[in-house]
Amino acid sequence: MQRRTFGGIGLVLLASLLGCGDSAQNGVFPSGSVEERRTRALLDRMTLEEKVGQMNQYIAPIYAQSLDSPDPAGKIDPLLAQGLVGSFLFVTDASEANALQEKASRARLGIPLIFGIDAVHGLAPVRGATIFPTPIGMAATFDVDLMERFGEVTAHEMRVTGMHWAFSPVLDVARDPRWGRTAETFGEDPFVVAAMGSALVRGLQGPDRAHLRVLACLKHFLGPGLPLGGRNMGPIEVSERALRSTFLPPFQAGVEAGALSVMAAYNDVNGVPSHVSEELLTNVLRHEWGFRGFVVSDWEGIEMLHTTHHVAASQKDAIRQAVLAGVDMHMHGEGFAEPLVELVREGAVGAWRIDEAAGRILRVKRALGLFERRYVDVARAGSVLASPGHRKVALEAARKSIVLLRNEQDLLPLRKNLKKVLVTGPNADNTALLGDWTAPQPAENVITVLEGIRAAVSPQTVVHFVDAGRVFEETNEAIQRAADEARGAEVAIVVLGENETRYDDRGVLDRRRRERTGGEGADRADLTLVGRQMDLVRAIVETGTPTVVVLVNGRPLAIPWIAANVPAVLEAFEPGLAGGQAVAEVLFGDVSPSGRLPISIPRSVGQLPVHYDHPRSAESPYVDESFEPLYGFGHGLSFTRFVYTDLQVPERTRRGEDVVISVVVRNAGARTADEVVLLFVRDVVASVTRPVRALRGFQRVHLAPGERQVVQFRLPFVSLAVHDRRMERVVEPGTFEVSIGGLRGSWVVERK
């Protein structure tokens, strides 16, 4: 065993993980297989320029036009004819996909193209697709089976529209919700991120990495979830122990799940930009974990080495550093191929490295079956996108993603035969519930909260809607009108939150993003409700009418006044195309809420970072505010009551043995409902400081009134490990404490 420390990252390189065998080196296919022989034969026929072409990705011509790119087709067609393009991103139309493939087929070797798309929560960039809750909402379901089915639906819709490569899952651990891309993550806990991300990889790619449904992409490697100041692309300064215990494990789990592409991150880690980090891209990813796929840069991430990070003297130098560090594909466009060819001919980059990168990409294309079937049936997409079966899965996801934060005096569920209901708020009747990376969708495909409420109540109920304007558009007149209507209503439902929509009312990409309060490039210094939303909800509460607040947002929002003054609060995150129906079903009792928070909600931005798995020393109080979040990780109420009893924990565990823990969960209420059972572990005394608790298991159970179920967890012995003072990963002997549903127990790990 060899110990290496560099760039603030300590590595233990084991011979079994060094990738010395043919299988690890060759990637997808074993040495001697038909597929591997074909790939090697193709590489032998390719010129240097053609190999470098495989390493270059361009923007799809139609998408380029939306960015005002001059004459994209005129530049692309000659490259396709010469076989000098390996991939496109944002091909969103099956006809365009076929046309591009046909042009590529005429080149000397006719190598098929691979099309990538930001399918972060379904095939959302495509009009008419099934749009699921954004990942932060999917994480709130704590349902890995559902996550896998989500991936299967996405993969199906991608393939029928000619796409093959999902830039998903996002495995960043979100520790600063000021960051606009928090909605794309699975939250603050590395265990949840790893579990949900791995499930999505399995759903997207399928069980056989040699025969992929579509290609998954783990991103962003590494660390955007804790950027300086919460600003996108900001650097992170983090200890080796934190990297090993928090930020790296989800990516390792994604690799172990079979993911065959990884995207480098924009940011630097401890002073080294991820795009030039050989430690991350080669030593950790490949040598430690045995990753077999290819690494792609983020959008112009290589260029930023020169223009932003200033670790490269020129674009050519940036390309040299990135390729040698382990980047296999460039996103996107011009200024990459020619300098790289020059670097090879000058001897600055070895020809072997080009063969390695191009080979990895070709093997994935072969695993996708593109050499056999590169075209799609354009007519078939219409019967698959947002099909009834796919919408059913999206509705299930939306229902399970909703978190009931507060329900004083059991205001919820509401009666369906109320005489009059007021609905208002900037997110009551628009598509903000679809989230970022979403193309404008057919109105008939999307159920807004207002539409869901109108469909849920009795025919005699009057649902009065006061349009208060979108975020930043609320006026004194609109606020007063809403308050006046609230006085005559039995209940007021106020739908607040954020807007991550990228497009204007005409469906045109809004590059100014004036109304966007979240999503990529929309970071915030403040986490309170934007615009005059607080004025709106205060005016309604002051009328004395029972009020429900529904939050539609992609990041936690600081809402201490609402938490103290509004009797019922639902966190809906961004629940997707069926979100309005799901919200209404929860409001009126057709569904009991079962979501749990995958990320803590702070009282104010001044608490950040605030996450549940902190060491005890982080619990020092402020003089002006509690150190505890407004709502912590795992919080979520129900319309029924669950009782936990009979916690079973072994007295002692031998080294190497799994730990089996069980508890009985009973539905003591009158409603059938789901309960998410969370298991936390604490290392009572360790050689280094440990979290006050750490999630090590979760299960979702469905129980009828009076029904009980034994829920069993099997904790692998290695899940108790810690990086000790020498940064060795070990399980230290001593006492461990477990907590489930308020019950606590402990056991002892014996010495050797």
Catalytic position from the list 118, 172, 176, 298: 298
For residues 243 and 284, the answer to whether their CB atoms sit within 8 Å is: no
Q: Per the structure block, which two tokens stand in for 168?
A: 């998903």
Instruction: Verify whether residue 298 is a known catalytic residue.
Output: yes
How far apart CA 41 and CA 29 sit, in angstroms, is: 14
The CA-based diameter of the chain, rounded to the nearest angstrom, is: 80
How far apart CA 229 and CA 721 sit, in angstroms, is: 31
How far apart CA 505 and CA 599 sit, in angstroms, is: 32
- What single letter denotes the amino acid at residue 350? G
How far apart CA 19 and CA 433 sit, in angstroms, is: 45
Q: What is the three-class DSSP state of 473?
A: coil
How far apart CA 571 and CA 636 sit, in angstroms, is: 9
- What single letter denotes the amino acid at residue 329? M
How far apart CA 389 and CA 400 sit, in angstroms, is: 17
Radius of gyration (Cα) for the chain, nearest Å?
Answer: 26
Element (DSSP H or E) covering residue 675: strand 673-683
- What single letter denotes the amino acid at residue 231? R
DSSP-derived secondary structure letter, 282: I
Q: Per the structure block, which two tokens stand in for 640?
A: 């029924």
Backbone phi, psi, residue 452, to 5°: -65, -40
**CA 416 to mean position of chain CA atoms:** 35
Q: How many helices (H) and strands (E) does the chain have?
A: 23, 29
- What single letter denotes the amino acid at residue 139? A
Element (DSSP H or E) covering residue 662: strand 659-667
C-alpha neighbours within 13 Å on the C-beta side of residue 78: 4
Backbone phi, psi, residue 672, to 5°: -70, 135
**Adjacent-strand bridge partners of 156:** none
Q: Per the structure block, which two tokens stand in for 622?
A: 């402020």
- Full DSSP string of 569-637: EEE-----TTHHHHHHHHHTTSS------SS-B-SSGGG-S--SS-BGGGGPPPSSS-SS-SB-TT--B
Helices (H), 490-556: 533-541
For residues 549 and 566, the answer to whether their CB atoms sit within 8 Å is: yes
For residues 367 and 260, the answer to whether their CB atoms sit within 8 Å is: yes
C-alpha neighbours within 13 Å on the C-beta side of residue 632: 8
Taking residue 206's Cβ as centre, other Cβ atoms within 10 Å add up to 16
Task: Report the catalytic residues.
Answer: 298
